[in-house]
Amino acid sequence: MAAIHLGFLPSRVSTQAELEFVRKTAVCIPWHQGCTKREYGSLIFIGHHPPAEVYILPVGKKAGLVLKTFTAAVTLLGDDPINYRLVDCETVLKKRAKNGVFLSRLSCTTYNLIGSMVTAVQKGLTE
């Protein structure tokens, strides 16, 4: 999702050929293979997309704990959690495929669903 948000990948594809192009392009993105267990719970800066900075937050198997900790830390640092847009792309992907999703199994429909989530977040940032 971060790659779509930053414009590395399109938010929509219309054909399998376009999706195949996205697959080939995605392997060039440094974080395309996911994160290590060591990175769980760490905010990882990915890039700028005005008016916001884009991070990924790998959560592992204890997403609730990581998100609670993140929210508490933001509050303790004097910021309001409402200023952050956290998008759970893992849930969307898991609902769409058995045993998780790999980019090679991604359908145009699922990819476009993810792209529409990114577009909604971008729209929310400018309102």
In terms of DSSP H, where are the helices of the chain? 2-5, 16-26, 63-76, 89-96, 108-126
Q: What is the pLDDT of residues 51-99, one digit of tens each?
A: 778 888 888 888 888 889 999 999 999 999 888 888 777 766 665 555 4
Q: What is the pLDDT of residues 86-101, one digit of tens each?
A: 877 776 666 555 544 4
| Tokens representing residue 78 in the block | 């004097």
Whole-structure pTM over 0.75, yes or no?
Answer: no
- Phi then psi for residue 110, to 5 deg, are -65, -45
